[in-house]
Amino acid sequence: MANFVLRLPATSFRSFSISASSNGAVPGTSTRAQNGGPVILELPLDKIRRPLMRTRANDPNKVKELMDSIKEIGLQVPIDVLEVDGVYYGFSGCHRYEAHQRLGLPTIRCKIRRGTKETLRHHLR
């Protein structure tokens, strides 16, 4: 990870900083819609449960293409994660998740929505 700080004279410019993680997300930050919508942040891969993993097979060619893309330009679209009682469940982004695993990346950028146990049961049907 690299951090860059650009400081210009205060008379006519503002100062700001730019930083990036290995997969393109700004480390240590999250964004939340003002209306209490989803949060986007990095989660450790091992904290995301994948309840449908055994029922779906990933296309190995697509995973390889994503690995190449993530290595070159980072993850462009976060995976969707449902948070229920502090536990994270991933139901989409299976290829992106596997690409991160195979690249040995410890975290993945996620769009996290809070849900109830009923919402979780709905996703498991």
Computed over every residue of the chain, the mean pLDDT equals 79
Distance of CA 27 to the CA centre of its chain: 11
* Cα separation, 91 vs 83, whole angstroms: 11
The model's pLDDT over 56-110, given as tens digits with 9 standing for 90+, comes to: 789 999 999 999 999 999 999 999 999 999 999 998 899 999 999 999 999 999 9
- Say whether pLDDT at 17 is over 50: no
The position carrying tokens 């695993």 is: 101
Q: Is 110 annotated as a binding residue?
A: no
pLDDT band at 36 (very low <50, low <70, confident <90, very high): low
Give the number of other Cβ atoms within 10 Å of residue 109's Cβ.
Answer: 22
CATH fold for domain 39-124: 3.90.1530
* Residue boundaries of the structural domains of the chain: 39-124
Higher-scoring residue by pLDDT: 120, 37: 120
96 annotated binding-site participant: yes
pLDDT higher than 50, residue 1:
no
51: confidence class by pLDDT, cuts 50, 70, 90? confident
Q: What percent of the chain has pLDDT over 90?
A: 54
State the pLDDT at residue 56: 72
pLDDT class of 55 with cuts at 50, 70, 90: low
Beta-strand pair 2-6/31-32:
unpaired
What is this structure's pTM?
Answer: 0.69
